[in-house]
Homo-oligomer: A and B are copies of this chain.
């Protein structure tokens, strides 16, 4: 499927032995999407050589767009300003935006100045849209038609664009003000008589996205309506560009990574093969926040030192209350953040969800708490201790569900990312609550307990 005969080792050997023409022929046979993984292990100097070879094939831009972003700074350094400007100028605007973002500030202007004026303006214009918006994700590479054009004229305009890497799937009918009127799927164009009018062929109720919409919102529209591309319009409904489904897949994958990462307090740049130094730098702040919360939880235990002193076995069961509460809270948090990410829940229906989760927490708490109490009774022969644990677990697990459901909904209502850091907050709350309820009840019943 992928081209298995071309390996990183072969490329490397050809480059080092100076057999550049052979390397070039081999590279010509590799699918653009396979270039990135194939070349990711080369040194920046080797990559510069490959870029030179691909430049002649007009494929250097594709390579840059496919490489893992963490490689870019080193590679950019290995390429001269003019060559880099020439390569970047070949990119679609969405890829150009992404790559230009990795240029070091001090070099940015020098490289951009060497790009054709039109491309440079397009970039500057695109950078006015907010980060992660539809305006930044769109390409301006689409075919606009007039209502009065015939199917044959539309087909001729496709032909005029020549061979292009981007497949044309829809043609967009616009009026004189470039306002979007409707779309004509290419399939419909093909099956229609050649003198049919585009205005009659078009689907008038077109799903589109404003340029300032969040790209996640756009991805959801594309997924929901099974679209292959979605038009992006300005406030007046004028056609600005399109976002194609392959970019939507990237957005969906990235957003899922972000959600999973944020629940664990991780930064998106902290990938499996990014440097240990980067990972440490990204994780330390979270760890320090976590440190504050674990010490806060510890201080709750500290409040009850006198109680533990009278009955040391209480300390043994602290991990039981905290562990079960934490797990319950994280389960609820996961269900709620995922449903927010999938657009299944709003703040209004959120209350229903909080109620449901609390019911589940109470039921699981009653069951697991009773079982825990029984184990403790059989272990220590102390029925009061079992009762204390049962009560503490019911309270903790019900409240854990409330907290796990409420925190992401509140963050979302405040316009924050519902996943970011909520794992740390929920675990802190369930720990503190678990310790407080278990040791608190134990203190109240201490005379019967000992």
Contacts and interface: CB of A to CB of B under 8 A. Distances in A.
Given A33-B224, A252-B249, A368-B291, A356 B273 contact: yes
Interface stretch (A49-57, A125-133, A308-316, A440-448): A308-316
A221 B45 CA distance: 30
Counting contact residues on chain A (CB < 8 A from B), the size range is 35 or more
A155 B272 CA distance: 48
Contact of A1 (B208, B226, B371, B427): B208
Nearest to A191: B159
A281 to B, nearest CB: 10
Contact of A191 (B33, B158, B322): B158
Contacts of A43: none
A154 to B, nearest CB: 9
Interface string A245-256: 110111011001
A32 to B, nearest CB: 9
Contacts of A331: 264-266, 283, 286
A228 B225 contact: no
Closest 10 CB pairs of A and B: A256-B256, A294-B323, A272-B339, A315-B315, A226-B246, A264-B334, A159-B191, A276-B359, A297-B319, A279-B360
Interface of A: 1-3, 31, 33, 155, 158-159, 162-163, 167-169, 185-191, 205, 207-209, 221-226, 228, 245-246, 248-250, 252-253, 256-257, 259-261, 263-266, 270-273, 276, 279-280, 283-284, 286-288, 290-291, 293-295, 297-299, 301-302, 305, 308-309, 312-313, 315-320, 322-324, 326-328, 330-331, 333-336, 338-339, 342, 344-345, 349, 352-353, 356, 359-360, 363-364, 367-368, 371-372, 375, 423-424, 427, 431, 435
